[in-house]
Amino acid sequence: MKNTSETFFDLFRRTIDFFYPPFRRIMTLQFFRYGLAGAINLFFDWILYFIIYNFVLRCRMLELGFITISSHIAALGIKFPIVVVSGFLIHRYVTFSCSELHKRVQLFRYLSVVLLNLTINYVGFKFLVDYLNFDPIHTNMIISILTIGISYFFQKYYTFKISNSTQLTKEYKV
């Protein structure tokens, strides 16, 4: 018997797969799943950042007593762990469900890719917001889009790597 999360992710995967046939000739099912599931998680990321930045922090510096953090960096730090968990679960159970790597290995590798993305996010925010005076909401969107390509490469070939024999025996079917 499957648990509730597996059932949810099966339904999520089948829903994504329903929209795949028109795109069959131009991309693989895995890439389509990554794109659509990732877009949903990215949209969740943007909404969460917007809510935290505007309504939780109210665009103000976060005073922690021993340190003060700018609101755009604080919002990034608050939303990041939430989006990391949702992203890992989506990619493990929807996009790269054929990977036979142990869950702990996948999680460790996923977190290492996340740290790379966090570094890109931090440097991007500091440069675009603090030096070029870009809007933090738009900066979050720009940097998110830039890290998508990097993430797909690492997730496919490192985090959720599939052995050649597994790849030959398991097809991604709709």
In a domain? residue 108: yes
Domains in the chain: how many in total? 1
In a domain? residue 119: yes
Rounded distance between C-alpha atoms, residue 61 and residue 40, angstroms: 29
Is the overall model pTM greater than 0.85, yes or no?
no
C-beta separation of 91 from 110 below 8 A: yes
In a domain? residue 171: no
Q: Residue 6 pLDDT more than 80?
A: no
The confidence band for 119, taking pLDDT boundaries of 50, 70 and 90, is: very high
DSSP bridge partners of 62: 69
Amino acid identity of residue 39, one-letter, is A
DSSP state of 70: -
Closest CA to 161 of 84, 98, 107, 86: 98
The confidence band for 171, taking pLDDT boundaries of 50, 70 and 90, is: very low
Share of residues in the chain with pLDDT > 90 (%): 52
In a domain? residue 81: yes
Tokens of 82: 């939430």
Domain span at residue 103? 4-17+27-166
Q: What is the pLDDT of residue 112?
A: 95
